[in-house]
């Protein structure tokens, strides 16, 4: 079965049809720059453009950079604050004329990695963390998603973790890989105490450079880079749409 996955980011909106059984994109993805400002109507127009580009007439899954509860945005990261309180699911469903599922972007990546990536077949608690402008998180138990965890906002040394350990913080403070790895390790150790995970999966754009920092992180829990990298959001969104159509829980 195929579903269309669309991943909304602060700089680009990407989409492609996905074989949800394998997690593979079945056509070359389309990327459109995120409108500035990224207000609901402008972003919805891009979503419609991607749907039409693929001539799509089936289930659509969309990631959103913020908390999503029952389709409604509770926060907004790197998009306009007008999103807060907007029923994103209803907006995209109305604009596309198609059944649409919406979920947090890190949650989508976590779902994809458990189903078809680095965490496939791993029982117990799996935590996916995306290191980028902030730190996104997905918490899964035996493959079942606990949505909207937002663990990048945990406090470390008096500051939100993402202010110290995100990839943006690494660049903004001109940190070397060793120093940044120490900050990431401190954050992961804090999560170990709270959740006792079986596996950490590191996603986000920095996962492409995993060889530069993962070997420097010495913690108890196994830690691996995301296998799907920048395609994880698209894949996870498509999988969520497929599950919704089949009335299966995420």
Q: What is the mean pLDDT of residues 182-195?
A: 98
Distances (CA, A) of 219 to 29, 129, 161, 175: 36, 15, 17, 20
pLDDT at 60: 98
pTM listed for this prediction? 0.94
Query: pLDDT band at residue 133, thresholds of 50, 70 and 90?
Result: confident
* Residue 24 to residue 235: CA distance in whole angstroms: 7
Q: Give the mean pLDDT of the chain.
A: 96
pLDDT at 246: 80
pLDDT higher than threshold 80 for residue 200: yes
Q: What is the mean pLDDT of residues 28-39?
A: 97
pLDDT higher than threshold 70 for residue 250: no
pLDDT at 247: 75
Contact 207, 223 (CB under 8 A): no
pLDDT at 245: 81
């Amino acid at each position: 079965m195929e579903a269309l996955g669309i991943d909304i980011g602060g700089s680009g909106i990407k989409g492609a049809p996905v074989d949800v059984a394998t997690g593979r994109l079945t056509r070359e993805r389309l990327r459109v720059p995120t409108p500035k400002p990224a207000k609901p109507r402008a972003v919805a127009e891009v979503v419609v453009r991607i749907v039409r580009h693929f001539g799509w007439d089936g289930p659509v899954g969309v990631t959103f950079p913020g908390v999503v509860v029952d389709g409604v945005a509770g926060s907004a990261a790197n998009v306009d604050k007008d999103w807060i309180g907007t029923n994103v699911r209803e907006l995209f469903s109305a604009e596309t004329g198609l059944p649409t599922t919406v979920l947090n972007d890190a949650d989508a990546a976590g779902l994809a990695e458990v189903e078809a990536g680095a965490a496939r077949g791993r029982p117990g608690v799996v935590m996916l963390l995306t290191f980028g402008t902030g730190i996104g998180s997905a918490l899964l138990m035996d493959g079942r998603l606990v949505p909207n965890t937002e663990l990048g906002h945990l406090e470390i040394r008096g500051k939100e973790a993402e202010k110290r350990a995100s990839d943006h913080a690494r660049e903004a403070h001109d940190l070397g890989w060793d120093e940044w790895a120490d900050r990431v390790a401190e954050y992961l150790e804090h999560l170990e105490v709270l959740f006792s995970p079986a596996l950490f999966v590191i996603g986000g754009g920095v996962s492409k450079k995993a060889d530069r920092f993962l070997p420097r992180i010495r913690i108890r829990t196994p830690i691996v880079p995301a296998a799907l990298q920048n395609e994880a959001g698209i894949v996870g969104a498509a999988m969520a749409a497929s599950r919704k159509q089949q009335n299966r829980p995420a």
